[in-house]
Amino acid sequence: MKRLGRQTWEYDHQPRIIGRATVVGPDEGQGPLASDFDYVYDNLEIGEKTWEKAERKLLEQASQLALINANKTKEELHYFVGGDLMNQIISSSFAARQLGVPYLGVFGACSTSMETLAMASMIVDSGAGDYVLAGTVSHNCTVEKQFRYPTEYGSQKPPYAQYTVTGSGCGVISRTGEGPVIAKATIGRIMDLGIKDPFNMGAAMAPAAADTIISHFRDTGLEPGYYDLIVTGDLASVGLPITKELLHKEGIPMEQTVFNDCGLMIYDRQNQPQVVAGGSGCGCSATVTYGHILNRMQKGDLKRVLVVATGALLSPLSYQQGESIPCIAHAVAIEQEG
């Protein structure tokens, strides 16, 4: 692996996603991407007594299905790189307990989907592991309870609020086998423009998304037209227009490609008003990427995609102490051979 510019990794040995899986909840199953998910639950409880245990079950199931789809067993895994939104990333850590393989737990808020994929690809590319599982998860009720208000409270949301995706996405990364190649990863910087409202995630994360996209093209010498699709990870209806404006001011020709957002793709906002501005959460970009986007790549509809997952790095404690919201975005370039 080599570094391009200041922030971008280029993988020399073409690590690839040889197996993947997505498991989602009922709201996601009613959205436009329902047919792209491996398993859809019709309830939020998922047969568990608590929301947190339900979230963990999503990740456990997605990881098991990803291994099956890769034709591998957990005994063949060298590492699991995972993370989530819960305090002390308990969903990933408890899922790792069941897997019983060496584990790297990471936290990048909603950017965790691409952070785990970039790190897993680095491990494989370096030769430190032959098969590495990357994955993340979120659950609407656990996140609302931890960061905002429990769903039972019935609080009214502002129109710019987002709706946490209930879902998990996982991928098995290897040097050999068939699957889309992880070509590059651009590691983001912390951006903080002083927003303190925990509902206004799109506006808070937009500068980080723009900064990482600018850094990716600066480091690689590419232009947006190189990619068939550039997709951000849950900026939704508020953050995506802000990002477009920031990129336009910097002279980045985004009109060369299709530019969309996972938080807008996963739901039908007109027929699902409960999602307000669109989707968010660790499971948002994970399920859209490992499900819908990679399905389109497999069919030949897309050859090169840049996924820019964004994350708001606040905690309940930092919010209560009046801190603003530091944000980050990590980009991973995925390319289909042939």
Q: What are 265-303's pLDDT values in tens digits?
A: 999 999 999 999 999 999 999 999 999 999 999 999 999
| One domain, residues 214 and 303 | yes
* pLDDT of 165 higher than 90: yes
Give residues with Cβ within 8 angstroms of 39, minimum separation 6. 21, 22, 23, 24, 61, 65
Which CATH number is 40's domain given?
Answer: 3.40.47.40
Last residue of a domain, one of 174, 190, 206: 174
Average pLDDT, the chain: 96
Domain span including residue 291? 181-335
Number of domains within the chain: 2
% of the chain surpassing 70 pLDDT? 99
Alpha-carbon torsion angle 300, 302, 305, 311, nearest 10: -100
Give yes or no for residue 314 having a pLDDT over 80: yes
Q: Which residues make beta-bridge pairs with 23? A: 39, 168
Residues 154 and 17 in one domain: yes
Q: pLDDT of 293-309, one tens digit each?
A: 999 999 999 999 999 99
Residue 75 sits in the same domain as residue 169: yes
pLDDT at 157: 87
Q: Is the pLDDT of residue 211 over 80?
A: yes
Is it the case that residue 254 has pLDDT exceeding 80?
Answer: yes
Residue 261 to residues 146, 170, 323, Cα–Cα distance (Å): 25, 19, 27
Residues contacting 262, CB < 8 A, separation 6+: 231, 232, 233, 234, 279, 284, 285, 288, 289, 309
Identify the pLDDT of residue 183: 98
Is the same domain home to 157 and 201?
Answer: no
| Domain end position, chosen among 151, 174, 197 | 174
Predicted TM-score of the model (pTM): 0.97
Residue 144 confidence class, pLDDT cut points 50, 70, 90: confident
| pLDDT in the model for residue 1 | 85
Is 157 or 67 the better-scoring residue by pLDDT? 67
Per-residue confidence (pLDDT) for residue 326, from 0 to 100:
97
Q: For residue 265, how many other CB atoms are within 10 A of its CB?
A: 21
The pLDDT tens digits of the residues spanning 51-101 come to: 999 999 999 999 999 999 999 999 999 999 999 999 999 999 999 999 999
Looking at the predicted structure, is the pLDDT value of residue 135 above 80? yes
pLDDT of residue 149: 72
Reported as a single tens digit per residue, the pLDDT across 166-205 is 999 999 999 999 999 999 999 999 999 999 998 999 999 9
Residues 23 and 147 in one domain: yes
Last residue of a domain, one of 174, 209, 239: 174
pLDDT of 148 > 80? The answer is: no
Q: Are 332 and 169 in contact (CB under 8 A)?
A: no
3-state secondary structure of 181: strand
Same domain, 185 and 169: no
Which candidate, 14, 12, 34, places its Cα nearest to that of 23?
34
**Same domain? 315 vs 262:** yes
Q: How confident is the model at residue 257 (pLDDT cuts 50, 70, 90)?
A: very high
Q: Are 126 and 1 in contact (CB under 8 A)?
A: yes
Asked if residue 216 and residue 74 are part of one domain, the reply reads: no
pLDDT cut 90: percent of the chain above it: 93
Distance CA 4, CA 10 (A): 7
